[in-house]
């Protein structure tokens, strides 16, 4: 390893061309494009990759998420008064650990499974989908709770992968419909201002009104929010950070390690590759996670697909 030094997906809060130099605080996700971009990027990264089959499977899963997001229909929006109350209390209005989910999310799960079962999936994947379909609604809701609480049992890992994917569709739709002008960043800047989940990775911009700004991307709802560079996402330290990447790579994916709390977070550099995607590139750079983990650093938060699957 050596030390060294994406375009956001969604709609801008405010006018990024209005001449204001400060980075926009957050970017709401666009369910019409989020999953399709991840699918395309995973397919591209799979070419010649040692984990090509796994990445292509996840690409098909992302494609099924995109289809479900398009077919899901109306998802009940939060009451504006509730949103304002949560923001005033400095809480995420879609708090994943307290939000009362509408049953429509399970319809999204069914749409996803229908799409995947129409393809040529591995036997283990088909078995997990069959077992998931056989579960009662209460059992599926319990599995969703376990995933959101980070308490999935090993025996449920296969089914939890699809539940996690369906929850991403549901929360992305909800976040997209939030009143952007009412939202604020949380006091705990490492958590999503919409749902309170941790980020999957950060993207350092190379274009727009504020090139060089870093945005963290929510692992659940896909919201992106600005987080100052050279400040640890976990503990806020700014004196013990360093950037590491795989020797001989193109430098598009690096890890920011912190010697104060011994954690790290992925950073993707749009200047090195304009097509970087926080969800796809994180999964495709698993080898970097292994190397950094063996060197003694712990990941700030897991990727939901790795946690569940």
pLDDT tens digits, 20-64: 467 899 999 999 999 999 999 999 999 999 999 999 999 999 999
pLDDT in tens, 229-270: 989 999 999 898 999 888 777 889 999 999 999 999 999 999
Shared-domain flag, residues 64 and 17: no
Shared-domain flag, residues 73 and 169: yes
pLDDT above 80 for 307 = no
Query: Which letter, b or e, does each residue of 89-128 get, where b requires 16 or more Cβ atoms within 10 Å of its Cβ?
Result: eeebbbbbeebebeeebbbbbebbbebbeeeebeeebeeb
Shared-domain flag, residues 106 and 220: no
Shared-domain flag, residues 104 and 201: no
Distance between CA atoms of 189 and 111, rounded to whole angstroms? 34
pLDDT number for residue 65: 98
Q: Is the dihedral of CA 168, 174, 180, 184 positive or negative?
A: negative
Shared-domain flag, residues 47 and 171: yes
The whole-model pTM stands at 0.91
Shared-domain flag, residues 215 and 278: yes
Shared-domain flag, residues 234 and 118: no
Distance between CA atoms of 109 and 273, rounded to whole angstroms? 33
Question: Which one of 163, 180, 197 terminates a domain?
Answer: 180
Beta bridge partners of 225: 26, 216
Shared-domain flag, residues 109 and 52: yes
260-264: long-range contacts, CB 8 A cutoff, minimum separation 24: 260/232, 260/235, 261/232, 261/234, 261/235, 261/237, 262/296, 262/297, 262/298, 263/232, 263/233, 263/234, 263/235, 263/297, 263/298, 263/299, 263/300, 264/292, 264/297, 264/298, 264/299, 264/300
Shared-domain flag, residues 175 and 38: yes
Q: How many domains does the chain have?
A: 2
Instruction: Mention every residue, 6+ apart, whose C-beta is less than 8 A from residue 234.
Output: 190, 258, 261, 263, 265, 300
CATH code of the domain covering residue 234:
3.90.1670.10
Distance between CA atoms of 226 and 232, rounded to whole angstroms? 13
Shared-domain flag, residues 172 and 302: no
Q: How confident is the model at residue 16 (pLDDT cuts 50, 70, 90)?
A: very low
Beta bridge partners of 254: 267
Shared-domain flag, residues 13 and 44: no
CA 215 to chain centre: 12
Contact yes or no for 175/221 (Cβ under 8 A): yes
Question: Which one of 133, 153, 180 terminates a domain?
Answer: 180
Choose between 4 and 281: higher pLDDT: 281
Shared-domain flag, residues 240 and 199: yes
pLDDT in tens, 108-165: 999 999 999 988 888 989 999 999 999 999 999 999 999 999 999 999 999 999 999 9
Domain that holds residue 85: 34-180
Distance between CA atoms of 170 and 193, rounded to whole angstroms? 16
Question: Which one of 128, 158, 180 terminates a domain?
Answer: 180
């Amino acid at each position: 390893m050596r030390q060294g030094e994406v375009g956001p997906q969604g709609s801008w809060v405010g006018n990024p061309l209005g001449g204001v130099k400060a980075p926009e605080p957050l970017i709401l996700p666009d369910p019409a494009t989020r999953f399709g971009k991840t699918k395309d990027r995973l397919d591209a990264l799979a070419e010649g990759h040692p984990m090509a089959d796994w990445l292509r499977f996840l690409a098909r899963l992302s494609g099924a998420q995109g289809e479900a997001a398009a077919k899901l229909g109306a998802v009940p929006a939060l009451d504006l008064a509730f949103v304002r109350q949560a923001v005033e209390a400095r809480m995420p209005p879609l708090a994943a650990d307290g939000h009362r989910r509408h049953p429509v999310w399970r319809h999204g799960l069914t749409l996803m499974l229908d799409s995947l079962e129409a393809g040529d999936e591995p036997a283990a994947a088909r078995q997990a989908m069959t077992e998931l379909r056989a579960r009662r609604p209460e059992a599926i809701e319990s599995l969703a709770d376990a995933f959101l609480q980070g308490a999935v049992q090993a025996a449920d890992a296969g089914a939890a992968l699809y539940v996690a994917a369906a929850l991403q569709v549901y929360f992305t739709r909800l976040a997209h419909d939030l009143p952007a002008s009412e939202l604020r960043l949380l006091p705990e800047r490492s958590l999503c201002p919409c749902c309170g989940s941790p980020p999957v990775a950060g993207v350092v911009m190379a274009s727009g009104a504020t090139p060089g700004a870093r945005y963290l991307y929510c692992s659940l709802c896909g919201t992106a929010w600005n987080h100052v560079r050279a400040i640890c996402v976990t503990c806020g330290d700014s004196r013990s950070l360093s950037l590491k990447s795989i020797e001989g790579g193109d430098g598009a994916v690096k890890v920011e390690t912190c010697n104060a709390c011994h954690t790290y977070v992925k950073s993707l550099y749009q200047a090195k590759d304009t097509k970087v995607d926080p969800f796809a590139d994180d999964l495709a750079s698993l080898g970097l996670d292994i190397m950094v983990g063996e060197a003694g650093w712990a990941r700030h938060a897991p990727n939901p697909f790795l946690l569940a699957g």
